[in-house]
Amino acid sequence: MNNFTVEAIELTRLYGGREAVSNVSFTLSKGQVLGFLGPNGAGKSTTMKMLTGNLAPSNGSVKICGIDMIEHPKEAKALIGYLPEMRPLYKELTVDEYLTIAARLHRVSAGNIKKAVEIAKERCGLGHMSKRLIENLSNGYQQRVGIAQAIIHNPMVVILDEPTVGLDPIQIRDIRALIREVGAERSVIISTHILPEVEMVCDHVQIIDKGKLVFNGSIDVLKKQRIGNKLLISMLNPPSADELLKIAGVTEVEVLSANQMRVRFADDAAPAEAIVQAAVKNNWGLHQIAPDQTSLEDVFVQLTYQEQAVPDVSVS
Amino acid sequence: MIINVARKELKSMFASPMGWVILSLLMFAFGTYYLNGVNDYFSVMSGAMRPAERTGVTQFVGQMVYGFASFMVLFAVPLLSMRLISEERRSQTLPFLFSAPISLTEIVMGKFLGLVAFLGILVVFIGAMLSTLNIWADIDFGFIVANSIGLLLMVASFSALGLYFSSLTQQPVVAAILTFVALFALMFLDRFFAGDPSNTLASLSLTRHFQSFSGGLIDTADIAYFGLFILTFLTLTVRRLDADRLRG
């Protein structure tokens, strides 16, 4: 018996012959936060619907804590909290009424419902909204109610489809903190368009494109790919490339413009200080030196548009 | 779990003015009929000299009220049943139910029972209203019980059909119209075959099966008809929702 909380095995979903999701397999363990990335229409939401049993996979299977979603849907669903892309809120009810119903439907025992509702409200910062009709809440607060609904029964797996859409920056920060908090003891899967969010919240990243997984691995792999061993240097009187190559650790120099160049260095070297010293000594007129980061967007674009070009990144 | 879904439905129905308005308007209409029935009873019976022309007050007033009620629910049920599933489909709240640990059958049963419980309030109120006749007359409670059971079964059948049509569309109004047309056809099917009462199609009519109840007779054949009617449409609804999950 392994301790995977979520196992997706060769999930495939056809929509009238077109593959919306094809052969997606992954696992998730307790205490992990998985970020689901992908352009529009890549199959993120479809995959999430299959994970939560809202959509039957055309092929493949889903196991939640070892329980098969197709064979024992009730038991499996009891372990999941799900917030779909469109918030499933009954707008004619108040926050308290809605959360009570959510708790009841998710098999929270009668005696604990009140407590569960209080805890969920507190975690999502909804305490002072108890008696308000959901209809009258702002977009951001409605989103919080949606999240509260997903965590009310303290599920093993929380699946949130674009949880930070429509929130203001402070709320986004709160929600991210909440996701990390839940992720510490449970498993969380979130989908998002916001790339830095993935870096902040997730330990695992999956990039999905046209229904296929193009990247599945730890966030560190992605970060490494992103930061790389590069320095961006701007100088008023730049020396020739050969002079820079003499500095210990520098492996490659690329001249970008008249006074800017990019320097690559070996994995274990840190040549920044040596370069500065050389610049002072030789009066190169150094005015900027910084690690050259490929933005996460670039990595994302690279992965989704040239998937063949970077096969070595797919470590799962 | 079925109970929890039913409670949710009842809560939604009473959370909007719709439920209250329909309940109060219907009760007002039934109350008027009851009052007229009692008044008419005296004027009609004072003219009826021969004993054969005389009927009991329960039957006279009861038939008036229950006859009217069975006609009124034809309009009330589509209005109430239309939102059950189509509204959830439109506001995309179905995933809330689908991802909870409840089966489709439980969801459908819960919604059905929620609506029947709501309409059951009407049936109970009508029964209670007619029972007040007992204060100054000696009324036939058996008649009222048979009629109440008949009305409840009919309302339940209407609800099952309404629930099914509600699961077919995203537009509550479309569901209401379809339900109304289908119910209207089923109610008056026997009128079309008035010349040939033994016709099989005529015996599908809902009114025909309500008739024995309205005479005070509880017939198992009629109970079976209503039971099968309800079962058929609930099964169809479950299948329709299952198709959502399979086809997406």
Tens of pLDDT, residues A238-282: 777 777 777 777 777 888 787 788 887 777 777 778 888 888 888
CA-CA distance, A107 to A127, in Å (whole number)?
Answer: 23
Among the listed residues B103, B88, B4, B85, the one whose alpha carbon sits nearest the alpha carbon of residue A89 = B88
Helix (H, G, I), strand (E, B) or coil at B223: helix
Residues A19, B28: Cα–Cα separation, whole Å: 57
- Comparison of pLDDT for B77 and A198, the residue scoring more: B77
Q: Which residues contact A6 (CB under 8 A, 6 or more apart)?
A: A26, A27, A28, A51, A62, A63, A64, A157, A187, A189
pLDDT of residue B228: 95
Q: Report the SS3 class of residue A265.
A: strand
The SS3 call for residue B56 is: coil
What is d(CA B134, CA B7) in angstroms, rounded to the nearest whole number? 34
Q: Of A49, A95, A105, which to mutate for an interface test with B (greatest number of B Cβ within 10 Å)?
A: A105
Q: Strand A187-192 and strand A157-161: pairing? A: parallel
Does A104 contact B94 at a Cβ distance shorter than 8 Å? no
CB contact (8 A) between residue A93 and residue B96: no
Q: What ipTM did this prediction achieve?
A: 0.85
Place of tokens 């079309």: B192
* Tokens 């709501």 found at: B118
Task: Sketch the domain layout of chain B as residue ranges.
Answer: 2-247
Judge whether A191 and A165 are in contact, CB under 8 Å.
Answer: no
- How is residue A196 written in tokens? 């830095």
CA A151, CA A137: separation in Å to the nearest integer?
20
> Residue A297: which pLDDT band, with cuts at 50, 70 and 90?
low
Give residue A307's pLDDT.
46
The closest CB to that of A92, out of B16, B99, B248, belongs to B16
Cα separation of A233 and A182, whole Å?
42
The reported pLDDT for the residue numbered A304 is 66
Which is the CATH superfamily of the domain at A229-291?
A: ACT domain (3.30.70.260)
Give the pTM.
0.84
Mean pLDDT within B56-60: 85
How far apart are the CA of B94 and the nearest CA of chain A, in angstroms?
7
**B94/A88 touch (CB, cutoff 8 Å), yes or no:** yes
Q: Which structure tokens are listed for A210?
A: 């046209």
For B50, counting Cβ atoms within 10 Å of its Cβ (0-12 exposed, 13-18 middle, 19+ buried), the class is exposed
Q: How does pLDDT run across A88-118, given as a tens digit for each residue?
A: 999 889 999 999 999 999 988 888 999 999 9
Note whether A106 contacts B100, CB cutoff 8 Å.
yes
Q: Which residue of A has its CA nearest to B92?
A: A88
Q: Which residue has the higher pLDDT, A18 or B240?
A: B240
- CA angle at A261 for the pair A257 and A262, rounded to the nearest 5°: 135
pLDDT, average across residues A182-209 = 84
CA distance A305 to chain B (A): 28
The per-residue pLDDT for range A22-35, each reduced to its tens digit, is: 888 888 888 889 98
In chain B, what is the greatest distance between 2 CA atoms, to the nearest angstrom?
A: 69
Residues of B in contact with A80 (CB under 8 A): 99
Give me A53's structure tokens. 């049993």
CA distance A130 to A98: 10
Q: How many CB atoms are closer than 10 A to CB B70?
A: 22
pLDDT of residue A173: 86
Decide: A262 and A292 in contact? Cβ < 8 Å: yes
**Cα–Cα distance for residue pair B174/A214, rounded to 1 Å:** 44
At residue A165, what are phi and psi to the nearest 5 degrees?
-65, 135
Facing B248 at nearest CB: one of A55, A86, A89? A55
Between A84, A90, A97, which is nearest B95 by CB? A84
Higher model confidence: residue A198 or residue A149? A149
Burial label, B133 (beta-carbon count in 10 A; 0-12, 13-18, 19+): buried
Q: How far is B110 from chain A (nearest CA, A)?
A: 11
Q: Which residues of B touch A56 (CB under 8 A)?
A: 245-246
Position A315 scores a pLDDT of 42
Q: Assess whether pLDDT exceeds 50 at residue A313.
A: no
pLDDT value of residue B230: 95
CATH number of A1-79+157-224+301-310: 3.40.50.300
pLDDT at A310 (0 to 100): 45
Mean pLDDT of B47-67: 82
Of B144-158, B165-179, B201-215, the range with the lowest mean pLDDT is: B201-215
Which of B96, B107, B238, B242 is the mutation pick for testing A, counting most A CBs within 10 A? Answer: B96
Give the pLDDT mean for B38-57.
80
- Rounded distance, CA B210 to CA B191, Å? 14
Residue-level pLDDT at B113: 95
Chain B residue nearest residue A104, CA to CA: B4
Taking the domains of chain A in order of start, what are their residue ranges?
1-79+157-224+301-310, 86-154, 229-291
Among B100-109, B191-200, B237-246, the minimum mean pLDDT is found in B191-200
d(CA A145, CA B159): 32
**Is the pLDDT assigned to residue A40 strictly greater than 70?**
yes
pLDDT single digits (tens) B11-32: 888 888 888 998 999 999 999 9
- Token pair, residue A261, equals 């160049």
**pLDDT cut 90: percent of chain A above it:** 16
Q: How confident is the model at residue A312 (pLDDT cuts 50, 70, 90)?
A: very low
